[in-house]
Structure 1
Amino acid sequence: MKNIFTKNVAFGFSLLLLFLINSVNAQTIAENGMVVSDNVIASQVGVDILKKGGNAVDAVIATAFALEVTHPEAGNIGGGGFMVFMKSTGDVTTFDFREKAPLAASPTMFLDEKGKIKDNSNHKGLLAVGVPGTVAGLYQAHQKYGKLPWADLVRPSVDLAKKGFTMTYGLYNAAVRVSDNDPSEDIMKNYFRGENGEIVKPGETWKQPALAKTLEQIEIHGRDGFYKGVVAQEIEDYMKANGGIITKEDLEKYEAVEREPVQGTFNGYDIYSMPPPSSGGVALIEMMNLMEEANITEIEFNSTAYVHLVAEAMRRAFADRAEHLGDPDFNPEMPLDKLLSKDFAKKRFENLDLNKASISDPAQYGHPYGGDHTTHFSVVDKDGNAISMTYTLENSYGVKMGSDKLGFIFNNEMGDFNPVPGQTTSTGQIGSDPNLVAPEKRMLSSMTPTIVAKDGKPYLVIGSPGGRTIINTVFQTVLNVLAYDMRIDRAIEAMKIHHQWLPDMILYEHNLLSPDTRDALQKMGHTLRPTTNIGVLMGITYDASTKLYTGASDSSSEDGGARGY
């Protein structure tokens, strides 16, 4: 009896120790598949699809719809985004379902008679809403590469919305903040409230019956359940009644696009990311080329030399981004081959002073605006298919408007266009031609879903929300893994900085950059500003020797988590 008791205690202690180690390490290890997202419920939905025989595409679709229910801050059917898909064969493709400007849009649509932006209308109000692309993108990916029936992938989110799920403290805190700050009579006023009229408290069940009905239309009718029929009609009616310009014609004409990825290399690894209208992939590869040119592996991580070099690479990539990039369907002459080349990085590196900060000149080239909240998730399946997907409403809870009959929130992505033609300022407003508003044009994005391959197989699947900081957050995490051999959770948690060319400053995470380094950087001519947190990364790595996936979610995501099997 004593021996059994002793063994049980020892076994229990081992389990507790394993739990504590995993908690501290913030890693999840699995053999057959992995989903890492901003909400553990959504991650589990994706893993359940993998267990039922679905592939990575199926799991991504199910996770994306589940995030609409569980992570409404950024999970969406009222927004858009990008997907990078590496097949088990090593082939890579991408899906662009970025929002589009409505047919009634124009380059000066946000300006008053004096040529000034009127009432922040490119970010607030229904003029700021782009034609949503998420449902079209997910449906297109499913039609070409999905394995399980479409309805099986949407049904879990219908059930989550209809039956409800337990309100978390993280979501509750956001609900209180949003409800208190929204004086309108629109959707946010009652969005988080239960039948008693009170905000649903932690531990209570939050149900979304209107959203469930919308998702049921998508479940039954696929793409047409959103872009035609009763949902499309209600979108048009709501827009007309509240000052918006999106019509049923806009919705019916919307199409997602499958595009070739942008590709680069770094020290023997292959990097695949999203092409324009995302600027993230081009900027990421340009910066990795600069790091290779600088032989970054010889520079100590987090040293003054490291931070300076990384900031200068960011400055140059963001300047090139603003000068050249936009919707490829409207900018066929974009010099992508040049921007992605090693020769271009070599020339860019020639004017980089290792001892002095460069000067950002708004008269020469610039940077578009980006919002502050998006969500990313990474998925791999047992066959080695991998997907990195980022989608967004732009700002947190988008435009904070939507029809109570439909139950979802619209994006405010029109703010990603350059709002005043020809006007570029030192504060970060850009007026260059490639990203001006035009009917049916996709606005430039910072989203950077990325897959790094080794020997033709996925090695790192990574991405992040964060608006303008996304590109640099992903860049530094990729650099941490490839150049500094950090394991995924530590690469995600390591100190991050952000420089976007204009305004000319380094944003850094408070308490993670030493005072001595800050002083040294300021003496080199850098301006620094602290912030609480940069990015909310969701990543997966694969160890070919053990054949195991390791997933990690950023600790700054209160409800996020990795799930595998």
Structure 2
Amino acid sequence: MKPYTHTPLCSMRRLSLLALTCLLATQSQAQVPATGVEPVRARHAMVVTIQHDATDAGVETLKAGGNAVDAAVAVGFALSVVFPQAGNLGGGGFMLVRDHKGAAHFLDYREEAPLAASADMYLDAQKNVVPGLSTKGYKAIGVPGTVAGLVYAERHYGRLGLARVMAPAIRLASAGYVLSAEEARALGNPNLANYPESRRIFQRDGKPYQAGERFTQPDLARTLTRISQQPDDFYRGEIAQQLATSIQAHGGLITREDLAVYKVKDRVPLTGHYRGYEIVTSPPPSSGGIVLLETLNILSGFDLAKLGSDRSPAQVHVITEAFRRAYMDRADYLGDPDYTTMPLAQMASPDYAAAWRKSIDLAKPTPSATLVRPAGFLPAPPAAAPPKESTQTTHYSIVDAEGNAVSCTYTLNGLFGSGVTAEGLGFLMNNEMDDFSSKPGSPNMFGLIQGPANAIAPGHRPLSSMTPTMVLKNGKLALVLGSPGGSTIITTVANDLLSEVDNGLTIQQAADAPRFHHQYLPDVLEFEKAFPLPVVEAMRAMGYRVSRANEADEKNPGVWGDSELIAVDPKTGELLGGHDRRRAFGKAAGY
């Protein structure tokens, strides 16, 4: 599917004198500060992840003769050990694979609703959402897909075999890894204390881990070893039996049948064009790809560089208005592609984007409550009122010496997922059921409003914002992109791409640049705490309702997302790695 092509620059309406004065007054203060931090450079291959041991596992695999998929599987299993907040065996995700000849695959190993799931399973007798029921504990767990996804990727696109690529993860679980201060603090998560197995493993039954200690996970090491020797055991053997028995004993829904029928979906990526680049990105059940493409298509009619510098008020304004319109369509139309017909071609139409663009007032925001979709392009949205994703996902990017590339985002959904650790197996379980619409009109944990296309139903996969993406120039790989961040994932990926393509930032500057986000509802323009204050105030003066993340909590950095990025130097062919420095324990590395 090729949703759109580049459209001519639209004629832009004149700004009011007041608005123009405001924008120009703050323009110079809006630039991303020069950090002096250069991207990591490598001639042959590059791995960028949120955790340094996982990055090393990927590089080790590449040096052993593995390709990008071998390294991606090694990293995925390693993160299940060293980044339990989101790295996982008990969750799910998406992997975008592109080989050096140009063939691309999108592996969907998203979690599924159990066969016993029902549309009203999180409602009380009065049909109101029961707080916490879809986010904590055993009933919040969806059928996990990560093990199936990583095994499928290795069998179909890797070359070293599962035992070899899982060896680093098994070693990290059995021998342990040294905790940084930030990692040790994370293990103190209060929700883990609510579940005895989680409290035993991650909190030593009340004796918290400290920075510099070695964290070993023997139960997880045994589970990983079993998977490396007999991967089908996770879905049809003894592991499946243990997992189902444990979940059902505590009121959860997952059965051995749920695990036995789970399958990875090898889907066709979405593609589009922007400023002469080809965008290869995520199809549903990711909402990210189509929302990204629609956003870029709207923005293709503006010369962002002439409007101002990166993160300047004029750029923030038009980008935000594009986000607002694309997220409106996300809310109404998107769901599981195996059960829902979605107007993707119409959403990605250049004519539709041009019609949306005409509704953008360059002097002021369009309140979401007054936003009217251009007529004649999309069918009427489903009649039911729109219903209701967590920031603790993780993303990694890999390019090998042959030019094969992987962009992978996977998740437990919330921080440490449901908080539940599978008894005797050593891994945390997801709370992915919250990504469905629990009730029309009720937001999920990220405040996202979604339509009835994303209602809970047996075997369905919930809508996701995960947006693993690649950018090509003249058929050659140029960028590998992605981020965690719940509903902010799409806007983070969009801004990373725009910073590189339109504004000339390096891949490291793009990863570090302060973030902003708008998702249609709630009608709030959100900023990271470190975003330049003059720009925030300029947007407030323009008429936006603004919010700075964790502004009242001085101990909280007020950040979101984690961009782990790779660029290809168009002149030298070198690989440039940009690790998001919001997370001190990750790194980019290559050879």
Normalised TM-score (structure 1): 0.91
The match for 2:493 among 474, 488, 493 is: 474
1:528 equivalent in structure 2: 546
Question: AA paired with 1:419?
Answer: S
The match for 1:487 among 496, 502, 506 is: 506
1:295 Cα deviation after fit: 2.3
Conserved? CA contact 1:49–1:62, under 8 Å:
yes
1:505 and 2:524 equivalent? yes
Partners of 1:167 and 1:311 lie apart in 2 by 39
1:557 equivalent in structure 2: 583
1:131 and 2:150 equivalent? no
Question: AA paired with 1:245?
Answer: L
Structure 1 231/241 Cα, relative in aligned 2: closer, same or farther at 3 Å? same
Partners of 2:191 and 2:421 lie apart in 1 by 16
Partners of 2:67 and 2:245 lie apart in 1 by 38
The match for 1:184 among 175, 194, 198 is: 194
1:547 equivalent in structure 2: 573
1:95 equivalent in structure 2: 107
Gaps of 5+ in 2: 1-33, 373-380, 550-557
User: Greater shift after overlay, 72-81 or 122-131?
Assistant: 122-131
Deviations 1:437-473 (A, max 9, x none): 0100000000011100112121100111111100000
Secondary structure in 2 matching 1:389: strand
The match for 2:290 among 282, 286, 300 is: 282
Structure 2 matches for 1:81-160, cutoff 5 A?
Answer: 81-160=93-172
Partners of 1:225 and 1:96 lie apart in 2 by 20
Partners of 2:533 and 2:509 lie apart in 1 by 18
Partners of 2:302 and 2:318 lie apart in 1 by 8
1:218 equivalent in structure 2: 227
Secondary structure in 2 matching 1:378: strand
Partners of 1:186 and 1:291 lie apart in 2 by 50
Conserved? CA contact 1:187–1:400, under 8 Å:
no
Partners of 1:496 and 1:23 lie apart in 2 by 16
Partners of 1:429 and 1:466 lie apart in 2 by 12
1:391 equivalent in structure 2: 410
Structure 1 216/424 Cα, relative in aligned 2: closer, same or farther at 3 Å? closer
2:235 equivalent in structure 1: 227
Structure 1 429/258 Cα, relative in aligned 2: closer, same or farther at 3 Å? closer
Structure 2 matches for 1:235-314, cutoff 5 A?
Answer: 235-301=243-309, 302-314=311-323
1:110 Cα deviation after fit: 0.6
1:101 Cα deviation after fit: 0.3
1:442 and 2:454 equivalent? no
Structure 1 367/377 Cα, relative in aligned 2: closer, same or farther at 3 Å? farther
1:10 equivalent in structure 2: none
1:119 Cα deviation after fit: 3.4
1:557 Cα deviation after fit: 1.1
1:245 Cα deviation after fit: 0.3
The match for 1:206 among 208, 211, 215 is: 215
Conserved? CA contact 2:184–2:209, under 8 Å:
yes
Partners of 2:359 and 2:370 lie apart in 1 by 18
Conserved? CA contact 1:321–1:367, under 8 Å:
no
Structure 1 369/555 Cα, relative in aligned 2: closer, same or farther at 3 Å? farther
Secondary structure in 1 matching 2:97: strand
1:373 Cα deviation after fit: 1.0
1:191 Cα deviation after fit: 2.3
Partners of 1:368 and 1:466 lie apart in 2 by 20
Question: How large is the RMSD of aligned CA atoms in angstroms?
Answer: 2.0
Structure 1 238/31 Cα, relative in aligned 2: closer, same or farther at 3 Å? same
Structure 1 37/108 Cα, relative in aligned 2: closer, same or farther at 3 Å? same
Secondary structure in 2 matching 1:191: helix
1:204 Cα deviation after fit: 2.2
1:148 Cα deviation after fit: 0.6
Partners of 2:36 and 2:58 lie apart in 1 by 24
Gaps of 5+ in 1: 1-21
Question: AA paired with 1:112?
Answer: D
Conserved? CA contact 2:386–2:440, under 8 Å:
no
Secondary structure in 1 matching 2:425: coil
The match for 2:536 among 507, 512, 518 is: 518
Partners of 1:125 and 1:193 lie apart in 2 by 18
Conserved? CA contact 2:387–2:452, under 8 Å:
no
Conserved? CA contact 2:48–2:587, under 8 Å:
yes
Deviations 1:82-119 (A, max 9, x none): 01111101222110111000000011111111000123
Structure 1 520/382 Cα, relative in aligned 2: closer, same or farther at 3 Å? same
Partners of 1:541 and 1:181 lie apart in 2 by 38
Partners of 2:421 and 2:386 lie apart in 1 by 30
Secondary structure in 1 matching 2:142: coil
Conserved? CA contact 2:80–2:87, under 8 Å:
yes
Identity of counterpart residues, as a percentage?
A: 40
Secondary structure in 2 matching 1:272: strand
Partners of 2:570 and 2:296 lie apart in 1 by 24
Secondary structure in 2 matching 1:192: helix
User: Greater shift after overlay, 121-130 or 385-394?
Assistant: 121-130
Conserved? CA contact 1:108–1:421, under 8 Å:
no
1:330 and 2:339 equivalent? yes
Partners of 1:145 and 1:438 lie apart in 2 by 32
Conserved? CA contact 1:368–1:416, under 8 Å:
no
1:429 Cα deviation after fit: 5.7
